[in-house]
Amino acid sequence: MNITPLPRGIYSPVLTPFTPDLEPDTDRFIGHCKWLLAEGCNGLVLFGTTSEANSLSVQERLTLTDAVVEAGIAPHRLIIGSGLSAIPESVRLTAHAAALGCAGVLMLPPFYYKGQSDEGLARAYAEVIDRVSDPRLRVYLYHIPKVSGVAVTHGVIERLLKDYEGTVVGIKDSSGDWDNTRGLLEAFPGFGVFPGSESYMLDAMKAGAHGCITATANIAAGALRHLYDGWQTPQAEALQEVVTATRLAAQSKPMIPGLKAVLARRDGDDGWLTMRPPLMPLDAAGAEELFAALEAAGFDFPQAAAAQ
């Protein structure tokens, strides 16, 4: 049985840098992972939505994961995005993460065929879990219906917990809806619920959340960690106001190109702006509008690790 403590805290879905020819930039990726941990992240999610995961091949994900571990980042600090529409591909990614000793996998439901039953979605998850058949495996379900078009419902969770309690251990709720997050926390006490937005992180922590998995951690890990560490202190409301203001400013532009624009400014390196199509970088005017919004929110722009 897996007795490693369940992940808790601030997890960043790590942005994926690309070279000019659109290949993953491994060195820059590792450097950003190390910087995020130094900034205060408790752990990292490799290949979430913010990572442009669905623009990466299975082999690219495997190669990058191995490179991060070989660079000295402990697997128990990693959650690996492994949910794809094809079950064999999800199995390959999931088995690899379990074999490395990663803290878990973040698994989208099969998202191409819309309108499927709870039973069908639960069976798809079950097929992956059964084929991997590794007692070290921990699965976090990924609910992001605005992007995937497929919801992870209470019915799906109930079916999976019936047969896979101890393996299916949590969910990232990227609905952006506090009522949905609160409903999960109330319906499944002890389940590892991570909201995907820090805008209501304090309320979520008070209700039993295990932390937050948020794109904004790519640029604001320190402030988020302060809130996580201090949510029970008298300063908690003020800390929440800080991270909410940053979140609202960051999401005023498309999140992935916006976050990459901030890192390009951090490093003085436009290489961060590269994305795989169809995603496109912000134009110069859009980037300046984003920076102005962040400055108005009181955001402290991050400094590159080499400059610290």
Strands 9-13 and 43-46, by their bridges, are parallel
Indicate the pLDDT class of residue 3, thresholds 50, 70 and 90: low
For residue 125, tell me if it sits in a domain.
Answer: yes
Instruction: Give residue 243's pLDDT.
Output: 97
What residue type is assigned to position 202 of the chain?
L
**What digits encode the pLDDT tens for the residues 213-271?**
999 999 999 999 999 999 999 999 999 999 999 999 999 999 999 999 999 999 999 99
Q: Which residues contact 270 (CB under 8 A, 6 or more apart)?
A: 264
For residue 122, tell me if it sits in a domain.
Answer: yes
> Does 112 qualify as catalytic in the annotation?
yes
Which residues on adjacent β-strands are paired with residue 11? 43, 213
Instruction: Please tell me which residue in 11, 125, 142, 228 is annotated as part of the active site.
Output: 142
Residue 78's domain spans which residues?
9-231
Indicate the pLDDT class of residue 205, thresholds 50, 70 and 90: very high
For residue 210, tell me if it sits in a domain.
Answer: yes
> Does 244 qualify as catalytic in the annotation?
no
> Does 142 qualify as catalytic in the annotation?
yes
Q: What is the CATH number of the domain that holds 117?
A: 3.20.20.70
Instruction: Give residue 304's pLDDT.
Output: 75
Could you give the residue ranges of the DSSP H alpha helices within the chain?
26-39, 58-70, 87-100, 118-132, 145-148, 154-164, 178-187, 201-206, 217-229, 236-250, 255-267, 284-296
**What digits encode the pLDDT tens for the residues 141-195?**
999 999 999 999 999 999 999 999 999 999 999 999 999 999 999 999 999 999 9
* Interatomic CA distance for residues 187 and 134, integer angstroms: 27
Question: What mean pLDDT is reported for the chain?
Answer: 96
Instruction: Please tell me which residue in 94, 172, 214, 216 is annotated as part of the active site.
Output: 172
Starting at the earlier edge strand, list the strands of the sheet with 139-143.
192-195, 168-173, 139-143, 104-107, 78-81, 43-46, 9-13, 211-213
Q: Stretch 109-115: mean pLDDT, rounded?
A: 95
Give the number of domains in the chain: 1
Instruction: Please tell me which residue in 11, 16, 49, 228 is annotated as part of the active site.
Output: 49
Instruction: Give residue 5's pLDDT.
Output: 78
Strands 168-173 and 139-143, by their bridges, are parallel
For residue 275, tell me if it sits in a domain.
Answer: no
* Closest of 62, 11, 17 to residue 37, by C-alpha: 11
> Does 146 qualify as catalytic in the annotation?
no
Q: Enter the pTM of the model.
A: 0.95
For residue 220, tell me if it sits in a domain.
Answer: yes
Helix and strand counts by DSSP (H, E) for the chain: 12, 8
Indicate the pLDDT class of residue 308, thresholds 50, 70 and 90: very low
Q: Stretch 17-41: mean pLDDT, rounded?
A: 98
pLDDT at 305 over 90: no
For residue 257, tell me if it sits in a domain.
Answer: no
**What digits encode the pLDDT tens for the residues 39-88?**
999 999 999 999 999 999 999 999 999 999 999 999 999 999 999 999 99
For residue 68, tell me if it sits in a domain.
Answer: yes
Task: Tell me the three state secondary structure of residue 230.
Answer: coil
* Interatomic CA distance for residues 156 and 296, integer angstroms: 42
* Interatomic CA distance for residues 295 and 55, integer angstroms: 31
Instruction: Give residue 211's pLDDT.
Output: 98
Distance of CA 186 to the CA centre of its chain: 22
Instruction: Please tell me which residue in 112, 113, 146, 206 is annotated as part of the active site.
Output: 112
For residue 304, tell me if it sits in a domain.
Answer: no
